[in-house]
Amino acid sequence: MASAREEILARIKAARVPPAAPVVRGYNRQGPSSVELFAERVADYRAIVHTVSGVPEFLTSLRGKRIVAPADVPAEWLVDGVTWLHEPLSIEELDQADGVLTGCAVAIADTGTIVLDGGEAQGRRALTLLPDYHLCVVRADQIAGSVPEALARLEPTRPLTFISGPSATSDIELNRVEGVHGPRTLEVLIVT
């Protein structure tokens, strides 16, 4: 008997689907990558947004808290008065932290999205998932205008997480409610 793989591939061939027309990409590939638009769209999804000129000044608001930070965040972010938690961290330790501070790989102005790729200042995926508060620093030059521009800047084989606002659900009467399993508070710091 043929294997499932061989049989499925043979059935596809037997269907003799004719070649398709070439794809016409007539849609907009670029969008305005403005800080203002990004800030407005992030705020639309009930994330808290600040536009600042320096990160450390803002971080004093974290004093007294236990905050996870990937090992490679800029040293100046690790301000005094905060209990910084670094890897290795267990799932329980992450779950009990007050929050997490990261950078990002790319942001998208059109949709108010931040994208993490596990690269610089981001850490592994669980770091930004278990703490109930996520503070994400976005540099103005990381903001792409559109979804196509953002995807072109990303390396698809890295583990990617696209985040647009705090966790939410539309499952009760199709109305959006913020705050389910992911961080219930998302704060975005745009550095110009």
Partner 1 sequence: MARNPVTWLGSPTFPKAAHKALADTQLRQNLRKATGTIRARRAAAVAEMTDWEMLRVAGEQIKDDVLARLDTLLVQLEESVTARGGVVHWARDAEEANRIVLDLCRAQNAAEVVKVKSMATAEIGLNEALEAGGVHAIETDLAELIVQLGDDRPSHILVPAIHRNRSEIREIFQRRMGVEVSDEPADLAEAARVYLREKFLTTKVAISGANFAVADTGSIVVLESEGNGRMCLTLPETLITVMGIEKLVPTWQDLEVFLQLLPRSSTAERMNPYTSVWTGVTPGDGPQQFHLVLIDNGRTQTLEDSIGRQALRCIRCSACLNVCPVYERTGGQSYGSVYPGPIGAILTPQLVGDMHDKQAASLPFASSLCGACFEVCPVRIDIPSVLTHLRAEVVEAKGRTAESVAMSAAAWIFASASRYEKAQKAGSLARFLAKDGKITSLPWPGSKWTSSRDVPAPPQESFRTWWRKNRG
Q: Which of residues 13-72 bind partner 1 (CB under 8 A)?
A: 13-15, 17-29, 41, 44-45
Rounded to whole angstroms, the Cα distance separating 156 from 118 reads 12
Give the residue from 148, 167, 92, 60 showing the smallest Cα distance to 52: 60
Q: Which of residues 128-157 bind partner 1 (CB under 8 A)?
A: 129, 147-148, 151-152, 156-157
Which of the stretches 55-63, 67-75, 99-107, 177-185 binds partner 1 when contact is defined by CB under 8 A?
Answer: 177-185
Q: Name the residue nearer to partner 1 (CB basis): 2 or 75.
A: 2
Cβ atoms of 191 and 52 within 8 Å: the answer is yes
Closest separation in Å from C-beta 81 to partner 1? 29
Cβ atoms of 117 and 89 within 8 Å: the answer is no
**Across the strands, what pairs with 101?**
135
* Binding of partner 1 by 180 (CB under 8 A): yes
Closest separation in Å from C-beta 136 to partner 1? 13
Count of residues that interact with partner 1, criterion CB under 8 A: 72
Rounded to whole angstroms, the Cα distance separating 51 from 9 reads 54
